[in-house]
Amino acid sequence: MPNVVCRLSSGFVYTLYLSRKRTPRARVAMRIDSGIPCAPWAPPLLRWAGSKRKLLPLLMAYSPSEFKRYVEPFAGSACLFFALRPRQAILGDINAELLETYSTVRSHPRLVARKARSWNSSRTHYYAIRRRVPQELQPVERAARFVYLNRRCFNGVYRTNRRGAFNVPRGVRTGRFPDERTFYRCSVALRGTEFRSGDFENCLSDVRKGDFVYLDPPYSVTRPRFGEYGYGCFGDPDLERLAACLKRIDSVGATFLVSYSDSGEFRDLIQEWNCITLRVRRHVAGFARHRATVSEILASNKVLNKAGS
């Protein structure tokens, strides 16, 4: 796993060292000059296109050490949430089935795990499970289907056709399927969590002093990709709404950390906040030859020039 070289707005450069050793429960080690270790409490249950899992040590280092409540309006795999394991949290997403899956895993981790793990990874089995209609299934089987398809599909992409049916093909290199213990740890992490489906502003409507808000919106697109990240996706007008939300979050005394593609539009909207630019390798493209190292921004209303501050 390559090191991540980060350049602060002041011009100072540091390297994020990611452990090459695969330790139990997907724990990773991190060192930023000062030598601050970070170990996630639990690995994310799901794969998710655009996930910041490889930046997790950095995100953990720049998360506040103390906060009253954790809020994440673009949950996806919620890797930072599971790493921090906050006692109180609000997870939001435009994907209602995703949040329902988390809710069911919280209530019935063992049942969901055993059902999902009972299905093999063959091509025939994958497409048979994909053809099942979620609305016709009981909650446990519906959640198991969601986890199974997510872990066995191509690149962790969530995409639907015009009828709203999941249509991502089977993946080849999908990694190790979560064991029952992972389901249980995720269930424990979700115990104090409220779920809010819909637009991201719904999740941010009652942010208050002492909250920590992490935002990782999908990249803005000029031509919506039908069915990916939900209908309408995320465009430039949404970026402007996001910028207004950041100001409201700051005004009430909450802390925010936002990660986004390094673009002129985004820089203009967050120029009043503290920023770090870093290079990351994206893994959303369909083929390895199309995957590239790109520039991303971390922005916050708190100082970012010292890890853990």
Q: What number of helices (H) and strands (E) belong to the chain?
A: 10, 9
**Alpha carbons 5 and 16: distance in angstroms, whole number:** 6
Residue pLDDT, tens place only, 148-162 = 999 999 988 899 888
Residue 261: its pLDDT value, please?
A: 86
Residue 111: its pLDDT value, please?
A: 98
Sheet containing 293-300, strands listed edge to edge, beginning at the edge strand earlier in sequence:
13-16, 4-8, 274-281, 293-300, 255-261, 211-215, 69-72, 89-93, 193-197
Other beta carbons within 10 angstroms of residue 265's beta carbon come to: 13
Query: How far, in Å, are 5, 15, 133 from residue 89 at the CA level?
Result: 31, 31, 30
Average pLDDT over residues 247-261: 96
Residue 294 is assigned to a structural domain of this protein: yes
More confident residue, 294 or 83: 83
pLDDT at residue 127 tops 80 = yes
**Alpha carbons 101 and 145: distance in angstroms, whole number:** 9
Lowest mean per-residue pLDDT among 140-149, 207-216, 233-242? 233-242
Residue 289 is assigned to a structural domain of this protein: yes
Other beta carbons within 10 angstroms of residue 303's beta carbon come to: 9
Q: How confident is the model at residue 41 (pLDDT cuts 50, 70, 90)?
A: confident
Residue 226: its pLDDT value, please?
A: 44
More confident residue, 16 or 109: 109
pLDDT at residue 284 tops 80 = no
State which residues form the domain around 50: 4-96+194-300
Residue 186 is assigned to a structural domain of this protein: no
Q: Is residue 3 left, alpha or beta, with left meaning phi > 0 and alpha meaning psi from -120 to 50?
A: beta
Residue 37 is assigned to a structural domain of this protein: yes
Q: Which residues contact 285 (CB under 8 A, 6 or more apart)?
A: 291, 292
Tokens 């899992």 -> residue: 53
Tokens 């009972």 -> residue: 118
Residue 132 is assigned to a structural domain of this protein: no
Residue 255 is assigned to a structural domain of this protein: yes
Residue 295: its pLDDT value, please?
A: 86
CATH code for the domain of 41: 3.40.50.150
pLDDT at residue 22 tops 70 = no
pLDDT at residue 224 tops 90 = no
**Alpha carbons 72 and 91: distance in angstroms, whole number:** 5
Q: How confident is the model at residue 71 (pLDDT cuts 50, 70, 90)?
A: very high
Residue 30: its pLDDT value, please?
A: 36
Other beta carbons within 10 angstroms of residue 89's beta carbon come to: 23
Residue pLDDT, tens place only, 229-251 = 444 567 778 999 999 999 999 99
Lowest mean per-residue pLDDT among 150-159, 164-173, 275-284, 285-294? 285-294
Average pLDDT over residues 215-231: 61
Residue 286 is assigned to a structural domain of this protein: yes
- Distance from CA of residue 19 to its chain's centroid? 20
Residue 110: its pLDDT value, please?
A: 98
Residue 81 is assigned to a structural domain of this protein: yes
Percent of the chain at pLDDT > 70 equals 78
Picking from 231, 139, 125, 210, the residue whose alpha carbon sits closest to that of residue 170 is 125
Residue 122: its pLDDT value, please?
A: 95
The secondary element (H helix, E strand) that includes residue 213 is: strand 211-215
How many residues can be counted in the chain?
309
Percentages (nearest 5) of helix, strand, coil residues in the chain: 35, 20, 45
Domain count, the chain: 1
- Distance from CA of residue 90 to its chain's centroid? 14
Please list the alpha-helical segments (H only) found in the chain: 56-61, 79-84, 96-107, 109-117, 123-131, 139-152, 180-189, 200-204, 236-251, 264-269
Residue 21: its pLDDT value, please?
A: 36
Say what the pTM is: 0.82
The one-character DSSP state at 229 is S
Q: Which two tokens stand for residue 170?
A: 């089977």
